[in-house]
């Protein structure tokens, strides 16, 4: 769009007036300001199209650039903002600023990586994914920035410009730099990532069926196919690439170590298959003694429960109880009630193919089920027990029954290698 001579003259006079005022106020030679470039309609369309086709920009960044372009008729502010972002991205960042240790909160390293997806300079993949609306493909990383000389260059163990080593450990496949002297790291081609440890054949081996690296002491283990390729049952984080330590429970299922430590304070069952997480024989013996001291009221003697044992996976009948049902096969109290039946009703209606069971009668008035000695007795529902299982029946009554169990095929305690991806 053409501009009139009067507009141009007024514009020049205005800028000249500002310049004079600047000189008077500062009494120094004025700096040269960047000229704003007004663009015509055709150029505006062209600029908008360029922004829309820029694969390096997110949808949010595209909208911001187009909005400013439409409002101001120039891309100067966006360009200046981009320049400021670049200046901030090349600035060194620290793992420990007090000790001048370069890196980030995730890793010690003397470089930043350039994300191939958006060309941004970030300390590590976690820092990138936390700040962006997309995830980095770490194996596609090609360039790095040395935080000593600020030179962007192909990814390598040492800087080609100043010769400074970027990290004590560098994996060219994972593009992982880690300068923590306390860590031993190796790359597993079968896992496709780096893991903590001395290496395959030294302290770890890779199980093809489980598709994980396990301690060398566990060569004779029972496999669970692709065992680690799942989320932690407590926190929900994907465990195969997790940097937190993962352990394997006696049943063979995996869980984060810190999640396990918190979980066993309130339960003794595997959160995946409901099997007991340890030797519960002492606790089950205490339950036997408690039940002997607290027999069920006479009106409940005609009821039996059909149960499924979460430990031995057998179905057996058991005397009906408000809270506890002992497996007739292995003696475990880690059981799930499948159904309860009135034996008298079943006998009377044996000719019928099915019968509707009447509801259980309420407890008789005057029957109280308290421990004779609360300080020495103990009992707990399957959801109650921690390893300090001194609860009375009143406490257990407030705990809901467990969900149906899933099967498990392992009884060996195991520990696996944790991921150390960058």
pLDDT confidence of residue 219: 82
The last residue of one of the domains, among 273, 299, 322, is 273
Q: What percent of the chain has pLDDT over 70?
A: 69
Q: Which residue has the higher pLDDT, 270 or 47?
A: 270
pLDDT confidence of residue 25: 35
3-state DSSP: the chain helix, strand, coil percent, rounded to 5? 25, 20, 55
Token couple for 183: 């860590």
The last residue of one of the domains, among 248, 273, 298, is 273
User: Are 291 and 217 in the same domain?
Assistant: no
pLDDT confidence of residue 362: 52
User: Are 119 and 194 in the same domain?
Assistant: no
Task: Give the pLDDT mean for 62-86.
Answer: 60
What are the tens digits of pLDDT across the range 314-323?
Answer: 999 999 999 9
Token couple for 66: 């187009």
Report how far residue 170's alpha carbon sits from residue 185's, in angstroms, rounded to the nearest whole number: 9
Q: Which residue has the tokens 């993962």?
A: 246
- Which of 51-65, 123-137, 286-300, 406-420 is least confident? 406-420
pLDDT at 417 over 50: no
User: Is residue 45, in this structure, part of any structural domain at all?
Assistant: no
Residue 391 belongs to a domain with what CATH number? 2.20.28.10
Rg (CA), the chain: 35
Total domains, the chain: 3
pLDDT at 303 over 80: yes
User: Are 300 and 318 in the same domain?
Assistant: yes
Whether residue 313 contacts residue 327, with contact meaning beta carbons closer than 8 Å, is answered with no
What are the tens digits of pLDDT across the range 352-403?
Answer: 555 455 555 554 433 333 333 333 333 333 333 333 333 333 333 333 333 3
pLDDT confidence of residue 72: 64
User: Are 197 and 154 in the same domain?
Assistant: no
User: Is residue 287, in this structure, part of any structural domain at all?
Assistant: yes
Task: Give the pLDDT mean for 399-411.
Answer: 35
> What is the residue-wise DSSP string for 253-264?
-EEEHHHHHHHT
* Range picked from 15-29, 124-138, 363-377 for highest mean pLDDT: 124-138
pLDDT confidence of residue 358: 55
User: Are 288 and 390 in the same domain?
Assistant: yes
Q: Which residue has the tokens 């903590």?
A: 196
pLDDT confidence of residue 45: 77
Kindly indicate the confidence band of residue 257, based on its pLDDT and cuts at 50, 70 and 90: very high
User: Are 210 and 246 in the same domain?
Assistant: yes
User: Is residue 146, in this structure, part of any structural domain at all?
Assistant: yes
pLDDT confidence of residue 14: 36
pLDDT confidence of residue 42: 77
User: Are 135 and 191 in the same domain?
Assistant: no
pLDDT confidence of residue 62: 78
User: Is residue 72, in this structure, part of any structural domain at all?
Assistant: no
User: Are 299 and 318 in the same domain?
Assistant: yes
- Taking the model in full, what pTM does it have? 0.56
User: Are 233 and 335 in the same domain?
Assistant: no
pLDDT at 86 over 60: no
pLDDT confidence of residue 318: 93
pLDDT at 24 over 80: no
User: Is residue 48, in this structure, part of any structural domain at all?
Assistant: no
Q: Residue 244 belongs to what domain range?
A: 186-273
pLDDT at 50 over 90: no
The last residue of one of the domains, among 183, 206, 225, is 183
pLDDT at 242 over 90: no
Q: Comparing C-alpha atoms, which of 16, 22, 182, 209 is closest to residue 95? A: 182
Please state whether 197 falls in left (phi above 0), alpha (psi between -120 and 50) or beta: left
Residue 199 belongs to a domain with what CATH number? 3.30.40.10
pLDDT at 209 over 70: yes
pLDDT confidence of residue 37: 43
Task: Give the pLDDT mean for 155-175.
Answer: 94
User: Is residue 9, in this structure, part of any structural domain at all?
Assistant: no
User: Is residue 257, in this structure, part of any structural domain at all?
Assistant: yes
User: Are 172 and 225 in the same domain?
Assistant: no
User: Are 230 and 330 in the same domain?
Assistant: no
User: Are 261 and 197 in the same domain?
Assistant: yes
pLDDT confidence of residue 334: 95
Task: Give the pLDDT mean for 201-224.
Answer: 87
User: Is residue 361, in this structure, part of any structural domain at all?
Assistant: no
Q: Which residue has the higher pLDDT, 132 or 422?
A: 132
């Amino acid at each position: 769009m053409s501009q009139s001579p009067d507009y141009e003259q007024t514009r020049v006079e205005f800028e000249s007036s500002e310049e004079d005022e600047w000189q008077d106020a500062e009494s120094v030679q004025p700096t040269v300001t960047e000229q704003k470039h007004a663009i015509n309609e055709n150029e505006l369309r062209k600029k908008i199209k360029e922004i829309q086709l820029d694969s390096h920009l997110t949808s949010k960044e595209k909208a911001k650039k187009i909005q400013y372009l439409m409002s101001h008729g120039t891309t100067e502010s966006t360009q200046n903002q981009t320049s400021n972002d670049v200046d901030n991205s090349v600035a060194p960042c620290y793992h420990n600023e007090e000790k001048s240790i370069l890196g980030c909160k995730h890793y010690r390293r003397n470089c930043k990586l350039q994300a191939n997806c958006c060309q941004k300079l970030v300390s590590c993949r976690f820092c990138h994914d936390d700040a962006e609306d997309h995830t980095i493909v770490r194996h596609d990383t090609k360039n790095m920035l040395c935080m000593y000389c600020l030179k962007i260059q192909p990814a390598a163990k040492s800087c080609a410009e100043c010769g400074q080593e970027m990290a004590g450990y560098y994996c060219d496949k994972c593009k992982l730099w880690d300068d923590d002297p306390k860590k031993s790291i190796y790359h597993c081609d079968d896992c496709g990532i780096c893991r903590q440890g001395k290496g395959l054949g030294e302290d770890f081996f890779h199980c093809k069926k489980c598709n994980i690296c396990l301690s060398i002491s566990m060569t004779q283990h029972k496999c669970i196919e692709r065992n680690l390729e799942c989320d932690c049952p407590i926190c929900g984080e994907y465990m195969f690439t997790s940097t937190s330590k993962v352990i394997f429970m006696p049943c063979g299922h995996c869980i984060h170590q810190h999640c396990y430590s918190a979980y066993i304070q309130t339960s003794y069952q595997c959160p995946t298959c409901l099997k007991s997480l340890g030797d519960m024989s002492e606790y089950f013996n205490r339950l036997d003694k408690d039940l002997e001291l607290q027999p069920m009221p006479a009106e409940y003697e005609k009821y039996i429960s059909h149960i499924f044992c979460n430990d031995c996976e057998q179905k057996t009948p058991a005397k009906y109880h408000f809270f506890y049902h002992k497996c007739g096969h292995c003696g475990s109290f880690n059981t799930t009630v499948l159904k309860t039946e009135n034996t008298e009703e079943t006998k009377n209606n044996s000719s019928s193919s099915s019968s509707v069971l009447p509801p259980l009668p309420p407890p008789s008035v005057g029957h109280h089920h308290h421990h004779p000695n609360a300080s020495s007795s103990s009992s707990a529902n399957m959801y109650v027990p921690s390893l300090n299982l001194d609860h009375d029946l009143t406490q257990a009554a407030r705990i809901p029954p467990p969900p149906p169990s899933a099967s498990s095929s392992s009884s060996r305690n195991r520990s696996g290698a944790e991921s150390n991806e960058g």
